[in-house]
Structure 1
Amino acid sequence: MAEPTKQTRRRGRRSTRVSQQLEAARKRNAEQLAKQRQQEEAVEAALAKFFDAGDQIAAADADCQRKVEPHEQAIAQLRTQRDELVAAQEAEQGLAALAMHEADRTVEQVGELLGLGEKATRRLIATGREARAKLEASQGEQGGGTPPSDPANDHRGRGADGSARGEDVVPSPDGAEAAPAGVQGWPAGAGGEEAAPAARPVPGAVSA
C-alpha cells in the first residue's frame, strides 16, 4: 500500500513572550468580567430600591388621602357657605346702589359715594337689578296660588239659623223671630202643631 501523501502539520511551540502576552490578556478579560458582574449587581440593587421606594410613595399617598378627605369635605362645605353668603351680601350691595341710583343720583354720584369707579358702579347697579328681579319672581311664585277659603267667611252671608242673609223677612204677629217672605208664621199650638188663626166675628151675627 502507498503511504499517505499528506504531511502532518506539527503545532508550533509558543514563545515565552507570546505566552506572557496571552496570560496578561486573559487576566484583563477576567477583571473586566468581574467588574461587569459587579455593575450588573449594582443595577439589580438599584432597580429593587427604586420600585420599593415607589411602593412606599403610593402607600403614603393613599394614607394621606384617607386622613385628609374628611377635612377636604369640611373645607369644601365651608367654602360653599362662604360663597353663598358673599353672593347674598353682594346682592344687598347691588340693591343699595340701585336704590341710590333710583333716588335721582347719577352713576358718577353713586360711585363717588361708594368710592368706586364708574365701571364697577354700573356693574353693581346691574347686580341690584338682577337681585330685585329674582326677588320679585320668587315673591310672585309664592303668592301666585289661589288663597285658601276662610271657613269663618263661608257663613258671613248667612244668619244664625243658616238662612241666607238679605232675604225679605216678615215680622210675626207677636213680634217673635221673623220668618222668610211669603211664609206666614203663627205661634205653635199644643203638641208643636201650628195653631190656626182665630175666626173673625161676622157683623150682625148673634153669638150662641
Structure 2
Amino acid sequence: MLAPLIVIPAATFIVLLIDGTAFESAPRQLPDYPCPASATAEKGVRPTDFTESARPYAGAGPHLVTSDDSLLVDRMPAHWKVPPRRDATTSELVVCAYEKDTGERVEDCRYHHGITLPLTKARATYRLFEAKTSKLVAGFQFKGEGGCPRSIHYYKGNPPSSLPQDIDQEDVIAKLRPYVEGPVRKGSGELR
C-alpha cells in the first residue's frame, strides 16, 4: 500500500514524501521586484524577494530605494541607493517604470551609413511601491522630450526600428525626492 502524498514546506524547498521516499524540488523563484505587469495596477506583486526581508517604509528619510529601471538607478543620488547585491534586505521603496512609445513621429534622425530612424513621442509612468508590503505609495506620469540622440548603440546589422524620446530622469528624481528624503508619505497612489 502506498503512503498518502504529504506536502511539507521547508524554507524555500518543498519536500514530497511518496511511499517513504523524499524528493526535493528546486528553490521557489520569487519575482525580483513587486512591479505588476500593468502600470494601472493598484497593488504590487506579492510575494517577492523583498516581502521576506525588506525594511518597512517607516520614520524619517532617507528611505533607500531601488528600481527595475537601471538608467534611473544610475542617476539616483548615492545616498538613496542600496548597497550592491543588497536590494532585498535594505530597500524600503521600489520604483517600477513603464515606458510607452506612442509611435507618433516627431522627426527623422539621420546617422552615418545611411541609417534613418523615426524619433517618436514617448510617455512613461513610474509607480512607487513599499518594498516590504508591495503597497502602492505614489505614481507619476511623464512625457518624453528632446530631439534626436547624438549617437545610437545597437548590435551590428540590427538597428532599432524607431527611437522614443527620452524621459528626463532628473524630473523623475525630483518627483521621488519627498518620498525618499522626507518622512513617510503614504499617498493615495494616484497618478500625478
> TM-score scaled to structure 2, two decimals?
0.18
Structure with max Cα Rg? 1
Q: Which has the higher strand share?
A: 2
> TM-score scaled to structure 1, two decimals?
0.17
Q: Which has the higher helix share?
A: 1
